[in-house]
With several copies, the nearest count.
Chain A
């Protein structure tokens, strides 16, 4: 489907931006789901982005700058999109949300719709000037990471989204909690056809696009990747 770019707002040093366009909600959009985005001129393969916000018929995405998609966005007025794809983050009782960098996107949307605690970490301070963070959340700039902070929380239910190294560490640290990880793999079809976004689980190879992106930490073997 096609839409006009409604707004594209950069952070101060242009490391991140928020992209929004109107979406006539034919299918329900849930936190954790993603859309595949490209422009009419490229990139050739649409890139998947988690929904950062959906309000009053406007979808918003939080995107890290520097790639081919942004290159095309710089001149294009139109978006070609496809979604919502993937599954919703499970509804947990008052979970702790741990976000690293643009991993904040799905958790922002989740926090808006579900009671939860939030810790956001970023190497790059300017992220916090771009996004909105619910009151009573914690945000932290490296070297103190979101995980360092989270360690001190007693909450059982945890949902983490961020760089793979952070997720691996979270899996180590929170072995005995009810931890969910929102995973990322390069995608081509976004619908479980091409076998591109594989993740190894206790139940064999699964796909981030179709079976995820949220997985129970216990279920996934992140070492397969290394």
Chain B
């Protein structure tokens, strides 16, 4: 597995495959199917200061080749999380804890409480399913303040999870200016679906987050742009990855880590094989993952 190794922000990843926040929950069920020693990193479902029931059903809508979700950040709240979940996160993989909230205070509170259990902390600025008036990332001032406060107060490497719906370069710039060195590009894309039998939206909040393979070209272009403009940022490529080939494409576009949400959720048993196949693709091409990172900006690797 030499060809898959990569270091990001001083943390060793045995491979670049990171399970995304949400679809795999807090890991309790997920790790019944997947050995933590096979995956590069695991991101927990987002944790907020208070427990959240999440949105009333339906929370899912099937779309052609995709999935629309409106979970609404259901989670037990940081205190229960820290007591019952966090200590059990497997140490055989890089533990990324995703933190959420509404205000600077919220993020600081959660960040400080979870920090000791995390190898990295992901700041979720881009959930499409909770706030009225858009994601946090669509509010430049608020996201600046949150990122600045977290950079100042937390000592674990921080990831800012950006939104594919806003201006990705602006968001990356805001992250960089506020001390963030790793950005996750990105969350699910905002979408909706309507019931033709009654003329109403399927989801009560109308909007949901679209995930699935079709997002991949969109993700790749965003990763490419961010890498072109801010080569000093480390990027997590996320959105639509569903095939070992996609992992290589993300690296080529500029991602140092590659994350998967929906695909890991629908086929947890297949992840082992997925990682082996990724390695095989690299071996066949006699190139390491690290060498691929951002190589399209240098005229390719061959």
Contacts and interface: CB of A to CB of B under 8 A. Distances in A.
Interface of A: 42-47, 68, 185-189, 191-200, 204-205, 210, 224-225
Contacts, number: 90
Contact of B266 (A46, A204, A225): A46
A224 B57 CA distance: 8
Interface residue SS majority, chain B? loop
A88 B66 CA distance: 30
Interface in B39-60: 45, 53-54, 56-60
B57 A194 contact: no
B62 A189 contact: no
Contact of A188 (B32, B65, B67, B74): B67
B25 A195 contact: yes
24 contacts: A43-B62, A44-B66, A44-B67, A45-B266, A68-B62, A68-B64, A185-B60, A186-B60, A186-B61, A186-B62, A188-B60, A188-B69, A188-B262, A188-B265, A188-B266, A191-B33, A193-B265, A195-B45, A195-B74, A197-B60, A200-B53, A205-B74, A210-B29, A224-B57
B57 A197 contact: yes
Interface in B15-42: 22-25, 29-30, 32-33
B62 A193 contact: no
B59 A198 contact: yes
B48 to A, nearest CB: 14
Interface in B175-208: none
Nearest to A190: B266
Given A45-B62, A189-B266, A196-B71, A224 B29 contact: no
A224 B58 CA distance: 10
Contact of A194 (B32, B56, B66, B71): B71
A192 B262 contact: no
Contacts of A194: 22-25, 60, 69, 71, 265
A197 B59 contact: yes
B56 A200 contact: yes
A196 B68 CA distance: 10
Given A44-B67, A193-B24, A194-B23, A186 B29 contact: no
Given A200-B56, A204-B53, A192 B67 contact: no
Given A185-B57, A194-B265, 9 more contacts: A44-B212, A187-B60, A188-B23, A188-B69, A191-B29, A193-B23, A196-B59, A197-B57, A205-B53
B213 interface: yes
A182 B89 CA distance: 33
A44 B266 CA distance: 9
Contacts of B45: 195
Contacts of A192: 25, 29
